[in-house]
Every structure is written in structure tokens, then in C-alpha cells.
Chain A
Amino acid sequence: MTRSDKIVKIVSYIVLTVLTVVMIFPFFWMVLSSLKPFREIYRPYLFPKYPTLDNYRKIMGSSLFPNWFLNSLIVALSTTFSVLFFDSLVGYTIAKYSFPGRNIIFLFILSTLMIPTEMLIIPWYVMSSRFGWIDTYWGIMFPGMITAFGIFLMKQFMETIPDDLLDAARIDGVSEFGIFWRVALPLVRPALASLAILNFIGNWNAFLWPLIVSSKPRMYTLPVGLATFSSENLMHWELIMTGATVSTIPLIIVFLIFQKQIIRGIMLSGLKG
């Protein structure tokens, strides 16, 4: 390694570390602010003099945050299971069966990727109010039960499964659904993990549609709840930051556990172009 290579390396480390501070500071400040009592929140120092968990007690005890937390969990988990099942079923069918109309069906599904959600929310809202889906979990979840991107992704992975393997199961008398469920699915587990985790995060963070489809505070998801709670408590930044921490921490934990799958998932989503 030459001297100039070494200098480049050292400079890289310095710049990257400085930027790390910039990237991480808002989180740090969020947590510190959530630990400050009200009388300290408008004071210009970093660390609380008398750190307290009172704000967390307040949020969990006298607001709807526990409800919103539960709603988000239910919504994100249910849509993720649905997406895993249907996206891989469709991906498998298109990759492994030949039937009339296969290409047209696949193109039709892919073409829906072009439609921005914003264009669909008005008809979805009309639909939801007609069928009584406003303020229900189904109302929040139904647009995301199956995703075109996931189908595309699963089709790519299902194509790598050798046909002989599926035929062998067929000869053994396994039903067609059994072949999908017990032979194909276990072979694409890594792809399923990435799809699951990205989908969970996406639904946990979703804002626009849940904001529109829920009118009763009890039915809000965490982001919608946090947004309304914050604009109603504009003087109480310590509570706002506590709410923000509460909605962020579960994701950070999920992120740290599944970082490999998340990074791979982001890369896969980048390859779809």
C-alpha cells in the first residue's frame, strides 16, 4: 500500500465518522429529550439533569399509545403474513406452471406498479365508506394484502427451483398445493425473510392511507396517533419525543436483529429497475 492510499483511507474514516454523528444525532437527541422532565425540556443542554421515565408512564398510562401500538402490530403482522402467502403463491404459479394467459397476467400485475397510491386513495375511500370499512383493521390493511413487487421478487426466486424436484414430489403423490407449501416455499426461505421484513417495516411506517381510513382515535395506527397526539401537545416536546421514541424503538430492535435480511431486501428492491 502506497502512502497516498493510506492517506485516502484515513481521510475516509474521518469523514465517515463525522457523518455518522450527523446521521445518529437526531435519534440521540430524541431519546435524551424523552428523558427530560417538562421543566428541563426548554433548557439548552444536552443531558437531562434529573432523568426520568415519567414521560413514558404518562404516554403509556393516560394516552391511547398502547392502543395505537397494538393496532400497528396487528396491521403490520397480518399484511405481512398475507403478502408472504399470496405473493409467493402467485410468483410460484407464474414461474412453475404453463397455462394460457400466463404472460398477460404477469404483465397485468407488473403494470399496476406504475399506479401511484395517491391516485387510488380516493376510490379506496369511497369503497371503504360504501362497505363500512372505515375504522376497521380490514380497512387499513386491504390495499396492502398482496403486492406486485413481492410477486415479481418471488417469481425470480421460484424460477431457480429445479423442476425435477417438484416432479419428484408429484410422483410421490404430493398434492399441487402441498408441493408449493412443503417443497417450494422452504427453498426460498431467505427471499421470504427479506420480503417479510421490508413489508413489516413498510406497513409499520405507513401514514397516508391509515390517516384517511381511520377517524376514531382508538383505531389509529402508531404514526397517525403520533401525528395527532403531537399536534395536540405542541408545548410538550418531551411527550412528543417520548411518543417518537416509542414508535421508533421496536423498529430499531427489529432492524438490529434482521439487519442482514433488511440490507439484502433493499438491494433486491434496487435491482428491480
Chain B
Amino acid sequence: MKCGRDSVAPFRGETMKLRHKKIITAYLFLSVPLTFFVFVRFYPMVSAFYMSFTDWNIISPVKNFVGLSNYVRIFKDPVFRTSLLNTLKYVLYGVPSVIVLSLGLALLLNNITKGQSLYRLIYVMPYITPIVATSWVWRWMYQKPPTGIINNFLNLLGLPSRDFLMSTTEALPSIVATTVWVEIGYCVIIFLAGLQNIPKEYLEAAKVDGANRRQLLFKITIPLLNPVIVFLSVMETIMFLRIFTQVYNMTDQGSGGPLNSTLPLVLYIYQKAFKSFDMGTAAAATVVLFLMILGITVLQLKVLNRRVQY
């Protein structure tokens, strides 16, 4: 402001006043939200850590400090170890499937122009519908023949029926399949946005140099998409580490059965805390989950901050 230069001096008192007023206003605006974050996020986190070192259950009023014995106990508990192993299986089966399938779909979608947004719209529908509802629909589809539509379809093709959710070996992959179906839409949207951010010149230049389709894909597109792949892998890993709703709704009485074969970590926590009211042990298990998610996130930051030159 040119004309204001002369009038700075008389206004100095005013601007100081305004500055103070702004600081007070800012704290006033932040007062309720900050209280919220302290009492609903920060304090409960500290409290969960603390609980994991006590033998508290909700029935008895006493809270004894027991050190690391809850941690020792859960790692000795075969059910906890099973749930940890199952969670690992969810991640190992689920994340690569979601990433590969949605990347493939996004690449196909990127080939076409007409109807792209319509396809995208349909693919994302499972992602926005309640997981409880879709879990029950899939549970219904996984039934034995003649009621289970998937088995009917298999029989129609001359293939034998499968047990799906009734089998200790097939139940977990069946739940993974449902979850992949849910998550694909989300990943396709992110991948497609990433693909459309790749400058056309790079591809044109490579084409002029005589690169074929396969080379374009593996030497240009996928390397340039690497940050998106890392980001989505991390998001999906965290999602599968926290899997609960699908398992609760697709297994008998929400048990993580048959024979704990689908029991994930969060369902173990739920059962310990709200079925046996063993809060200390459950809190210790949540700390284990927290550390796993923290580890994945730190790893992501390390990978993404590494500058890669192509």
C-alpha cells in the first residue's frame, strides 16, 4: 500500500491493539477444539498406555501396577498369537491383491475416454456402502449350495462346491476377497488421479525413441507412480491391520471362527475388553497394534523422503 506509508506512525497503537486482539481471538477460537483433543485423543492414549501396565478389570475397583506382565501374558496366549498371525495373513493376502488389481483397473481406465467416470463411479460403490451390509451380502453369497449363489455358479461351470466361510482354511481368504472388493474403488480413484498427473510429454518422448507398450508401462508409468503405490500400500496395510467389522459380521456369532481361523487382532482386543472385561490385557494388545501402525508409518516416511531420480 503506497499511500499508507505516511500514516503508519499514528496507527501503530492501533495495530498493536489489533495484534493483541487477534491473538486473544485465536486462542478463543481454539479453546473448545484444543480441550477436545486433550480429553478425547491425548488423555485416552496416555490412559491406554497406563492401563496396559495394570491388572485392572472393570468389575474390581483396584488397579495394581503389574509392569510388563500383561505383555508377557498376551505373547504367551496362543489365541493372541493366532490373532497376530491371522492379522499378518490379512495384510499379506490383501494388500498385494488390492494394489495389483486396482492398478490394473486404473491403467485400463486410463486407456479409455468415454464412460471413464461411469466405470469409476460403479467401482467405488462398495467402498461407500456400510461394511456391515456388504459383509452380510457376501456371507449370503458364500453359503452352501443350493442357496449360495457363488457355489451355484461354480457348479454351473462344472466345478465342485467350496466351504468358504465354513472352512478353517478358506474362511480368511474369503473375507480378504470381500475386503478387496470393498477397497478397490478407493485405490482406483487415487491411482487414476496419479496416472493423470504424469506429464504426457514423457510418454510421447519415449514413444518417439521407439519404446513399446510394455517398456512404457514398466520404465515410465510405474516408476513415476511409485509414490502413489507406496502411499496406497501403507494405507491398505493399516486398514488390514485394523480389520474388524467384516470378520465380526461374517463369522458365526462374531467369534472369528471357525476355530479362531479368522480372528484378527482387533477382534481379540474386543473380546478381551468387552466379553471378559480384562481391560489391562486388552490395552496391552492395543499398544501392540499402535506400535505396528507406527512402524509402518515411519517406514513410509523413510521411503517417501528418499529422493529417487529416474
> In the bound complex, how far is the Cα of B132 from the Cα of A207, in angstroms?
8
Q: Tell me the minimal C-beta distance from B16 to chain A in angstroms.
A: 14
Could you say which of B26, B147, B282 contacts A237, with CB atoms under 8 Å apart? B147
B residues near A108, Cβ cutoff 8 Å: 37, 42
B237 at the interface (CB under 8 A from A): no
A156 at the interface (CB under 8 A from B): no
Known contacts A114-B294, A237-B147: A29-B141 contact under CB 8 Å: yes
B37 with A120: CB separation less than 8 A: no
B27 with A44: CB separation less than 8 A: no
B274 with A212: CB separation less than 8 A: yes
A13 with B44: CB separation less than 8 A: no
A230 with B134: CB separation less than 8 A: no
B109 with A259: CB separation less than 8 A: no
B125 with A23: CB separation less than 8 A: yes
> In the bound complex, how far is the Cα of B58 from the Cα of A124, in angstroms?
13
B8 at the interface (CB under 8 A from A): no
B245 with A208: CB separation less than 8 A: yes
B30 with A223: CB separation less than 8 A: no
> In the bound complex, how far is the Cα of B213 from the Cα of A97, in angstroms?
52
Q: Max chain A CB contacts within 10 Å: which of B21, B48, B131, B304?
A: B48
B133 with A16: CB separation less than 8 A: no
B residues near A123, Cβ cutoff 8 Å: 43-45, 47-48, 51
> In the bound complex, how far is the Cα of B234 from the Cα of A109, in angstroms?
21
Known contacts A13-B112, A270-B190: A262-B128 contact under CB 8 Å: yes
B134 with A118: CB separation less than 8 A: no
B residues near A129, Cβ cutoff 8 Å: 58
Known contacts A44-B152, A263-B124: A244-B137 contact under CB 8 Å: yes
A16 with B231: CB separation less than 8 A: no
Binds B, one of A47-55, A56-64, A85-93, A186-194: A85-93
A44 with B147: CB separation less than 8 A: yes
> In the bound complex, how far is the Cα of B120 from the Cα of A248, in angstroms?
19
B residues near A42, Cβ cutoff 8 Å: 146-147
A93 with B29: CB separation less than 8 A: yes
Q: Tell me the minimal C-beta distance from A167 to chain B in angstroms.
A: 10
User: Given A16-B108, A117-B242, 6 more contacts at CB 8 Å?
Assistant: A9-B111, A13-B115, A205-B128, A244-B137, A273-B231, A273-B304
Q: Residues of B at under 8 Å CB distance from A?
A: 18, 21-23, 25-27, 29-30, 32-34, 36-37, 40-45, 47-48, 51, 58, 105, 108-109, 111-112, 115, 117, 119-134, 136-138, 140-141, 145-147, 149, 152, 181, 184-186, 189-190, 193, 213, 227, 231-232, 234-235, 238, 242, 244-245, 248-249, 253-254, 266, 269-270, 273-274, 279, 282-283, 286-287, 289-290, 293-294, 297, 300, 304
